[in-house]
């Protein structure tokens, strides 16, 4: 207890220096925690995907369409429960800064496939009945203040023109992580318009979504679907929804790696700063360590005092950082809602924060601990005065 | 060997040599020192800077290692002890008084005095009794909760003396104990040290530059270029006080 008291008092002996170090570590931990959360969010869509859903797309690339006629042939594959289809629409609301996902889907089968999008029965009926109708997630509706019956206009990019939709439903996610910042409308509306304006692009879909009877049939069904269209003009690639989402993540992997590297660099920088502080501290206290050794305290006692001080400072910064990470994440979730549908700090991130703070304490304490533990008494006492 | 005050020697030094290396150079500090210090003696070691007096003190106190020779303290050859054994031996047998007090600034007077007792098996209550007694001895019972920065130099040195005697060691080593004090405070510290010898039968070995401080000692030895001499500059008798 006595040595613990000595460690804590020593840790905050030079208040300004200790506070600056603690704040520095706290900021590094906040940055590390937020960046780790950001990396985790990248995989958010992947984690939210169902194990029993498959996605079939053109084997060459997602940008190439598939014939609508594939639908019935896919449905005949044993193990297939539901088939839906759609196109990435890529429309722009107001301008490019107001990005959100918007897709043309076959509405009935789509809502069957995605039970996590919860609509009231009235809104669901209204949406299914109105070919120009659309549904949006609650968070997206809140962002723009949309209400049922509002007219939403998107500027088409892949499919040029001004596209108008009537808001017929606002869905809620069944789970916290369910995407609530997307707009879905009738695929028929897109297709019929294309028949008039660009007939060559009509009756083609961007992807099929398949619900299999049991998750364990996923591999078998995938192979069967792709086998049907082998050597056709539009060969298919069928994969689980998770693998499909991972494909998107892989496209931005370089950014992910960069973010991860930055998060580790932040910790390394604060390690160096903390190590410098601890080295200065130990250098100033060499005479005190020598005095303690004179009184009979061993090298291990001194090591414990120096190392303990380093850990106390690092953990103080770490705990402060963890405490401040939550309001910071809350701020991001509110202020940057359009970019981050959820910004929740996971327990694993907190554990990593504490681990990073401990690592800072350990690394910063190694050299001063060794120096304090091995200093010769006569040499240490000469440092006085 | 004879005895300076009629008591057997507590420190027996034989053919002690010590040198330091500075780069490729070897600088001799002590050369073939042989002398004894009687139990309960108050010995002052004087000499110019660099004469080796602090080195000799460190060797007797077991905080430095000799190149050659032996030092027996209370019958124990401390030159043959390992670092760990020396640490335990110091804790039980030697009290230290430094020029700049060497108190822990973050600990109160009470806690500073308690520090050496943490290495003993004493209970918290027993430690408190010992500390209170030691602080009472040095006249600082009313300063137990004061931090070193809240005490004068003289008071800090008295706390250091309390810390030195709290575990009841046989020997006290003092390196320039009055070197940082004004005349009045220095006088008080020397009185206290004299009292420790007379009333509590401690052996004190004190290094000092100050002739007034040395006068308080019963025996004065000079070190000149690593060689021990008497007050008149002649090679010292191997028995302090004879």
**Would you state the structure tokens that stand for residue B174, as one six-digit string?**
């003092």
Separation of alpha carbons A82 and A87, rounded Å? 17
Q: Cβ(A45)–Cβ(A251) under 8 Å?
A: no
* Residue whose pair of structure tokens reads 């020598």 in the numeric block: A290
Question: Residue A250: what pLDDT?
Answer: 77
The verdict on a CB contact (< 8 Å) between A381 and B104 is no
Task: Flag whether pLDDT at B116 surpasses 70.
Answer: yes
Distance in Å, alpha carbon of A293 to nearest chain B alpha carbon: 7
Residues of chain A found within 8 Å of residue B119, distances taken between Cβ atoms: 295-297
Question: Residue B3: what pLDDT?
Answer: 42
Question: Residue A234: what pLDDT?
Answer: 93
Distance in Å, alpha carbon of B88 to nearest chain A alpha carbon: 6
Question: Residue B236: what pLDDT?
Answer: 61
Task: Flag whether pLDDT at B241 surpasses 60.
Answer: no
pLDDT digits (tens, 9 = 90+) for A26-41: 999 999 999 999 888 8
Distance in Å, alpha carbon of B16 to nearest chain A alpha carbon: 17
Q: Which residues of chain A have pLDDT under 70?
A: 45, 337-338, 341, 383-385
> Closest partner residue to B102 among A13, A296, A384, by Cβ?
A384
Interfacial A residues in 1-30 facing B (CB < 8 Å):
2-3, 5-6, 9-10, 13
Task: Flag whether pLDDT at B192 surpasses 90.
Answer: yes
Q: Cβ(B211)–Cβ(B50) under 8 Å?
A: no
Question: Residue B240: what pLDDT?
Answer: 52
Distance in Å, alpha carbon of A289 to nearest chain B alpha carbon: 10
**CA nearest to B118 within chain A:** A2
**Mean pLDDT for the stretch of residues B65-80:** 93
Find, among B230, B211, B234, the residue nearest to B222 by Cα.
B230
Q: Which domains does chain B have, with CATH numbers?
A: 38-62+81-221 (3.40.50.300)
- Interface residues of B toward A, Cβ cutoff 8 Å, are 55, 58, 61, 63-64, 84, 87-88, 90-92, 96, 98-100, 102, 104-107, 111, 114-116, 118-119, 163
Q: Return the bridge partners of A240, or none.
A: A54
**Across all residues in chain B, what is the average pLDDT?**
89
pLDDT digits (tens, 9 = 90+) for A287-316: 999 999 999 999 999 999 999 999 999 999
pLDDT digits (tens, 9 = 90+) for A259-275: 999 999 999 999 999 99
Q: How far is CA A247 from CA A182, A250, A281, A352, in A?
A: 20, 5, 51, 27
Distance in Å, alpha carbon of B164 to nearest chain A alpha carbon: 9
pLDDT digits (tens, 9 = 90+) for B131-163: 999 999 999 999 999 999 999 999 999 999 999
The verdict on a CB contact (< 8 Å) between A295 and B115 is yes
Q: Cβ(A91)–Cβ(A154) under 8 Å?
A: yes
> Closest partner residue to A295 among B91, B100, B106, by Cβ?
B91
Task: Look up residue A65 and give its DSSP letter.
Answer: -
pLDDT digits (tens, 9 = 90+) for A138-165: 989 998 999 999 999 999 999 999 999 9
The helix-helix angle for A286-294 and A253-284 (nearest 10°) equals: 60
Q: CB B212: neighbour CB atoms within 10 A? A: 12
Read out DSSP for B154-170?
A: HHHHHHHHHHHHTT--S
What percent of chain B clears pLDDT 90, i.e. is strictly above it?
69
Residues of chain B found within 8 Å of residue A379, distances taken between Cβ atoms: none
Residues of chain A found within 8 Å of residue B107, distances taken between Cβ atoms: 6, 9
- How many contacts (CB atoms, under 8 Å) link A and B? 63
pTM of the predicted model, to two decimals? 0.75
Q: Domain-by-domain residue ranges, chain A?
A: 2-44+253-381, 60-234
């Amino acid at each position: 207890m006595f040595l613990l008291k000595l460690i804590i008092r020593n840790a905050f002996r030079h208040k300004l220096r200790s506070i600056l170090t603690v704040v520095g570590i706290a900021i590094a931990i906040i940055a590390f925690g937020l960046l780790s959360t950001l990396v985790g969010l990248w995989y958010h869509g992947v984690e939210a995907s169902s194990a029993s859903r498959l996605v079939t797309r053109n084997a060459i690339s997602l940008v190439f369409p598939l014939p609508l006629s594939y639908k019935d042939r896919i449905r005949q594959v044993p193990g297939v429960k539901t088939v839906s289809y759609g196109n990435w629409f890529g429309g722009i609301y107001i301008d490019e800064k107001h990005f959100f996902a918007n897709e043309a889907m076959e509405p009935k089968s789509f809502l069957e496939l995605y039970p996590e999008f919860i609509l009231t029965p009235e809104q669901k009926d209204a949406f299914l009945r109105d070919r120009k109708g659309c549904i949006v997630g609650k968070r997206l509706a809140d962002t723009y203040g949309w209400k049922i019956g509002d007219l939403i206009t998107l500027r088409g990019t892949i499919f040029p023109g001004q596209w108008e939709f009537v808001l017929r439903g606002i869905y809620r996610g069944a789970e916290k992580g369910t995407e609530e910042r997307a707009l879905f409308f009738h695929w028929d509306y897109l297709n019929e318009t294309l028949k008039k304006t660009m007939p060559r692009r009509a009756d083609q879909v961007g992807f099929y979504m398949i619900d299999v009877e049991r998750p364990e049939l996923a591999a078998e069904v995938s192979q069967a679907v792709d086998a049907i269209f082998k050597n056709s003009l539009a060969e298919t690639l069928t994969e689980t929804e998770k693998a499909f989402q991972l494909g998107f993540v892989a496209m931005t992997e370089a950014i992910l790696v960069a973010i991860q590297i930055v998060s580790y660099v932040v910790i390394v920088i604060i390690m160096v700063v903390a190590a410098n502080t601890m080295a200065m501290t130990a250098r100033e206290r060499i005479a005190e360590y020598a005095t303690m050794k004179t009184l009979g305290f061993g090298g291990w006692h001194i090591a414990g005092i120096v190392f303990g001080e380093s850990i106390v400072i690092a953990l103080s910064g770490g705990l402060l950082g963890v405490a401040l990470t939550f309001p910071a994440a809350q701020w991001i979730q509110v202020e940057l809602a359009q970019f981050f549908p959820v910004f929740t700090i996971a327990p694993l991130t907190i554990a990593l924060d504490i681990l990073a703070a401990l690592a800072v304490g350990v690394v910063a304490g190694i050299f001063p601990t060794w120096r304090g533990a091995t200093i010769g008494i006569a040499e240490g006492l000469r440092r006085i005065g | 060997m004879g005895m300076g005050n009629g008591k057997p020697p507590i420190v027996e030094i034989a053919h002690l040599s010590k040198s330091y290396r500075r780069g490729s150079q070897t600088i001799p500090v002590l050369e073939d020192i042989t002398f004894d210090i009687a139990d309960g003696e108050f010995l002052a070691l004087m000499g110019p800077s660099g004469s080796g007096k602090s080195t000799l003190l460190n060797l007797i106190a077991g905080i430095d290692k000799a190149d050659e020779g032996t030092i027996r303290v209370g019958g124990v050859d401390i030159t043959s002890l390992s670092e760990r054994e020396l640490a335990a031996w110091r804790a039980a047998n030697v009290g230290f008084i430094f020029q700049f007090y060497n108190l822990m600034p973050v600990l109160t007077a009470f806690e500073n005095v308690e520090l050496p007792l943490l290495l003993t098996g004493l209970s918290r209550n027993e430690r408190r009794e010992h500390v209170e007694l030691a602080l009472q001895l040095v006249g600082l019972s009313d300063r137990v909760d004061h931090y070193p920065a809240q005490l004068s130099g003289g008071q800090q040195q008295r706390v250091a003396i309390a810390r030195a005697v709290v575990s009841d060691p046989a020997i006290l080593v003092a390196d320039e104990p009055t070197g940082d004090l004004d005349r009045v405070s220095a006088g008080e510290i020397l009185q206290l040290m004299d009292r420790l010898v007379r009333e509590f039968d401690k052996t004190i070995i004190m290094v000092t530059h100050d002739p007034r401080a040395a006068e308080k000692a019963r025996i004065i030895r000079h070190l000149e270029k690593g060689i021990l001499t008497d007050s008149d500059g002649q090679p010292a008798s191997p028995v302090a006080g004879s």
